[in-house]
């Protein structure tokens, strides 16, 4: 059975120098710490570096794990304690809202070792979940899987903004969302700033329309064809309005026309009609 200590040995790291740290905070919704590590790394790093008890020594190496919303204990990095000091008075943790004035502040430096295993290795921590810091040499944790763990949460239609060239590589779940809805979208040429308003009514809805652009298509628009003659253009795509899947095509076209008029994309943009 492969253990986390085996991975440490393979990377030239002595388990005797490593403390295993498992982050799970009952003050936060399950998965919130993992979400912070993915999307707000600085907040997670500050959370991890402040501890109420003096639990680490300078020179310790910390193998950091986070419990996800799926209750998996996922490896997120190997750190070294560079120095220790007090948290400044009035310091408040951004994730928990806790006053850290009386806490210890650890200067944790992320190490290169085991970088290829970050967000991939899932271990079985065992029954002693209350013991959140353990010595690796005494605890050969079984490795349950080594695989990509995370698909980012779809940001929502209002927040969705992406380069068209990124559409084919969007997470599978995002593609499913965009395939399921129709709507009116905005293309912006990131070099010239010119805008194009379009609508998606086909079988693959928004995703199908955007994949066509990503593959070099022009959607049949005269002005998009014209600018493409001077070389491939790079567009950013976002959503202006999402409609129900049962909305008639002529209604979607009316909404599209409204946005063209509002944004003046016929007069100053890339819409020819």
Per-residue DSSP letters for 241-271? EEE-TT--HHHHHHHHHHHHHHHTTTTSSS-
* Phi, psi of 60, deg, nearest 5: -60, 145
pLDDT value for 204: 63
102 or 15, which is more confident: 15
**Are 57 and 134 within one domain?**
yes
Q: Which of 103, 123, 146 is the last residue of a domain?
A: 146
> Does the predicted TM-score (pTM) go above 0.85?
no
pLDDT value for 205: 86
∠257-258-263 over CA atoms, to 5°? 100
CB 135 within 8 A of CB 19: yes
pLDDT value for 220: 66
**Are 139 and 26 within one domain?**
yes
pLDDT value for 8: 95
Return the biggest CA–CA distance within the chain: 72
**Are 210 and 125 within one domain?**
no
Q: Taking the CA atoms of 29, 35, 40 and 43 in sequence, report the sign of the dihedral they define.
A: positive
**Are 170 and 106 within one domain?**
no
- DSSP string computed for 134-188: EEGGG--PBEEEES----PPP--TTT-EEEGGGGGGS-HHHHHHHHS-EEEEEEE
pLDDT value for 150: 66
Measured CA to CA, the distance from residue 109 to residue 187 in angstroms comes to 41
Over range 88-98, report the average pLDDT. 88
Q: What is the pLDDT of residues 126-150, one digit of tens each?
A: 887 778 999 999 999 999 999 877 6
DSSP H helical ranges for 53-115? none
Asked whether residue 271 is domain-assigned, the answer is no
Beta pairing, strands 195-200 & 73-86: unpaired
Query: Which residues are CB-contacts of 29 (< 8 A; sequence separation ≥ 6)?
Result: none
**Are 200 and 84 within one domain?**
no
**Are 27 and 55 within one domain?**
yes
Indicate which CATH number applies to the domain containing 216.
Answer: 3.40.1440.10
166 or 261, which is more confident: 261
Number of structural domains (the chain) is 2
Q: What is the pLDDT of residues 210-269, one digit of tens each?
A: 988 888 766 667 788 877 776 778 889 999 999 987 889 999 999 999 999 999 999 999
Asked whether residue 48 is domain-assigned, the answer is yes
**Are 17 and 105 within one domain?**
yes
Over range 94-102, report the average pLDDT. 87
**Are 85 and 185 within one domain?**
no
Where residue 63 falls among pLDDT bands split at 50, 70, 90?
Answer: very high
Over range 201-218, report the average pLDDT. 82
């Amino acid at each position: 059975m492969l253990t986390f200590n085996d991975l440490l040995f393979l990377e030239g790291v002595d388990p005797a120098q490593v403390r295993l740290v498992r982050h799970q905070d009952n003050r936060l919704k399950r998965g919130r710490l993992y979400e912070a590590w993915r999307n707000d790394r600085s907040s997670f790093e500050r959370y991890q570096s402040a501890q109420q008890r003096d639990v680490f020594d300078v020179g310790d190496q910390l193998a950091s794990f986070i419990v996800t919303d799926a209750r998996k204990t996922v490896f997120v990095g190997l750190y070294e304690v560079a120095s220790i000091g007090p948290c400044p008075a009035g310091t408040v943790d951004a994730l928990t809202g806790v006053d850290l004035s009386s806490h210890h502040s650890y200067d944790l430096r992320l190490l290169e070792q085991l970088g290829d295993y970050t967000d991939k290795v899932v271990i079985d921590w065992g029954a002693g979940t209350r013991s959140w810091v353990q010595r690796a040499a005494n605890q050969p944790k079984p490795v349950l899987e080594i695989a990509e763990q995370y698909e980012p949460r779809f940001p929502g239609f209002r927040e969705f903004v992406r380069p068209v060239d990124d559409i084919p590589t969007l997470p599978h779940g995002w593609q499913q969302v965009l395939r399921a809805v129709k709507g009116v979208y905005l293309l912006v040429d990131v070099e010239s700033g010119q805008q194009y308003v379009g609508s998606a009514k086909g079988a693959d809805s928004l995703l199908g329309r955007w994949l066509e652009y990503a593959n070099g298509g022009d959607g049949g628009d005269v002005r998009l064809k014209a600018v493409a003659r001077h070389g491939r253009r790079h567009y950013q795509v976002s959503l202006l309005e999402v409609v129900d899947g049962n909305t008639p095509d002529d209604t979607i076209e009316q909404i599209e026309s409204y946005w063209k008029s509002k944004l003046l994309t016929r007069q100053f943009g890339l819409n020819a009609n």
